[in-house]
Amino acid sequence: MRSNQALRREYRLAVTALVVLALVAPVLLDRDSFPLSTCPMYSGARGTHSTLVTAYGIDKDGERRGLTPTLIGASDDPLVVAGRLRAALASDRVGVRCSEIAQRVSRRPSLAEVVSIEVVSERHDTVARTRGEASLSHRDVHAICEVERA
């Protein structure tokens, strides 16, 4: 008959083996799953430049003001907002999106000096941007719309 200590050791080994198997199962099954992901989203090399689609508020002096994701895309998730702007560009509805942003901005007293909205694509040097250095290499303005206030 086995000792109580030997049974506990075998139990711990069995539990450990099951946990390890659960962790590596997604890799063995070639299926994306928690807690390990086989999704290559972050495993490949990325280019040195990236293009960002965003919107700015423009004040009466022509200065650009950054806008929050909530103002740009009615969401606090920057990836959702960027996706909505890219979809608006792809479907040629960027003017509609610009007007929606202008309406949200018009309701913010803290942005009273913003007179128009620009929806733009900006190409940046990714490393320079990460370092906080000047990174803009190209900029396309896709829509400009006025912020109308009552």
For residue 32, pLDDT beyond 70: no
**Is the pTM of the predicted complex or chain greater than 0.75?**
no
Domain regions of the chain by residue span: 4-40, 49-146
* High-pLDDT (> 70) share of the chain, %: 89
Lowest-pLDDT range, 39-48, 79-88, 93-102, 138-147?
39-48
Q: Which of 141, 122, 123, 147 is nearest to 58 (CA)?
A: 147
Residue 7 banded pLDDT, cuts 50, 70, 90: confident
pLDDT digits 0-9 by tens, 65-113: 999 999 999 999 999 999 999 999 999 999 999 999 999 999 999 999 9
Q: Which of 86, 85, 95 is nearest to 146 (CA)?
A: 95
Alpha helix stretches (DSSP H) within 32-93: 69-73, 78-90
Residue 43 banded pLDDT, cuts 50, 70, 90: low
Residue pair 99/145 in contact (Cβ under 8 Å)? The answer is: yes
